[in-house]
Amino acid sequence: MRRTKPLRIALSALLVAGVSAGFVPASAGAATPADQKAPASGSMLAAMQRDLGLTKSQAEARLSAEKKATSVEGRARRAAGSSYGGAWFTPESGRLTVAVTDRNKAAAVRSTGAEAKLVKYSAPQLDAAKERIDALKAPKGVASWHVDPASNRIVIETLAGRQGDNDVRHFLAQAREAGPVTVERTAHAPRTLAAGTVGGDPYYTGNVRCSIGFSVNGGFVTAGHCSGAGAAVNGWDGSYIGNFQGSSFPDNDYAWVNVGSGWWTVPVVLGWGTVPDQLVRGSAEAPIGASICRSGSTSHWHCGNVLAKNETVNYSQGAVHEMTKTNVCAEPGDSGGSFISGDQAQGVTSGGWGDCSGGGETWYQPINEILNRYGLTLTTA
């Protein structure tokens, strides 16, 4: 939806990033506690009803359950100690489940309000196995891989029809030597979501249009594949904003841009008329299974669920690590835009497959990792 320039400039640091939020100030890499009451606007609930197939009361109940699960997860992890095997939220039950390798820790985990599941491998063991797989060179027939706490294994997705390829078979054989592996098939190869310059909302770098993520002190964060360090950035009206101060892609997919020349940062993400422009108040990490929303300059506002964390995505340009997978749709030009769960900032859009007509999956780079990497502070209301 086209807006007048004065409002656009006021929202320059979030133009293309988008999802509703709400928090207290968070410094670089610090997650904000999620035990504060999160406002849920009627339009945000409407978006969840549209994209998740919920009634209004179901959406309200889910947001409440997810907020509780987010606050419980830290306590449950500490209770599990070295036996912690990961955690996930189950929408049907509204409960958080924590995997443990030590049966004697189950009662302590349950005392925090979480369910407990006995598993063979701890989270550090699974992460170490995934790191060994990350060190392998993945062929194009392999789409991605991630640690799945529910199955207590590393799930590797291969492209349909490519499992019989010699290079894929060799990769899978090496992966099975690295740790516990499950192989699944996908019909879709991942791709980044940058776009050539077209009409719409900023920002632009060269002939590429991407989406602004979250405001930080002195600038904003976005996707690394949109451009490299030093590249100039122009806003929706073509005026100069700043330059890429740091950028990493592949291996990672994040970057940050300084803001000046009459532009400034605000703790807001653009609702595109689907929902009101939303305040950002923090960055507590949502669990697997939680609902999450995204907004960008092409497809605007859409919602879905967190499917996996710490996933390695094998783009044609190279592998990107430690990403979070969702079933929120996205399209070219949405790269760099904001992901938020409830009232918590989650990350910047990287890539995916599909579109917002037929659906698909999208990955984001977690926000706290970006803040830590560059020593940035999230701008909050």
pLDDT tens, 1-41?
333 332 332 222 222 222 222 222 222 222 333 344 445 66
Long-range contact set of residues 57-63: C-beta below 8 Å, sequence gap at least 24: 61/94, 62/91, 62/94, 62/291, 63/38, 63/291, 63/342
Encoded tokens for 174: 């090496």
Residue type, 167: D
Q: Identify the sign of the CA torsion 188, 194, 195, 200.
A: positive
Could you tell me where the DSSP H helices lie in 160-299? 166-178
pLDDT of residue 172: 96
Known catalytic membership, residue 253: yes
d(CA 349, CA 21): 16
CB-CB contact of 123 with 83 (8 Å): no
Distance CA 132, CA 205 (A): 36
Rounded Cα gap, residues 361 and 187, in angstroms: 12
SS3 337: coil
Which one is catalytic: 51, 253, 277, 343? Answer: 253
pLDDT in tens, 339-381: 988 778 999 999 999 999 999 999 999 999 999 999 999 999 8
User: What one-letter code names the amino acid at 289?
Assistant: G
Q: Could you tell me the pTM of the whole model?
A: 0.78
Strand partners of residue 308: 325
Q: Is 188 a catalytic residue?
A: no
List helix spans (H) across the chain.
Answer: 5-10, 42-52, 56-80, 106-110, 123-134, 166-178, 367-374
Q: Identify the segments of the chain with pLDDT beneath 50.
A: 1-38, 196-200
**Is 225 a catalytic site residue?**
yes
CA 38 to mean position of chain CA atoms: 20
On whether the CB atoms of residues 114 and 100 are closer than 8 A, the answer is no
Given the structure tokens 């293309």, which residue do they identify? 16
Catalytic residue among 146, 225, 300, 302: 225
**Catalytic entry in 335, 338, 341, 350:** 335
pLDDT of residue 202: 63
pLDDT at 184: 96
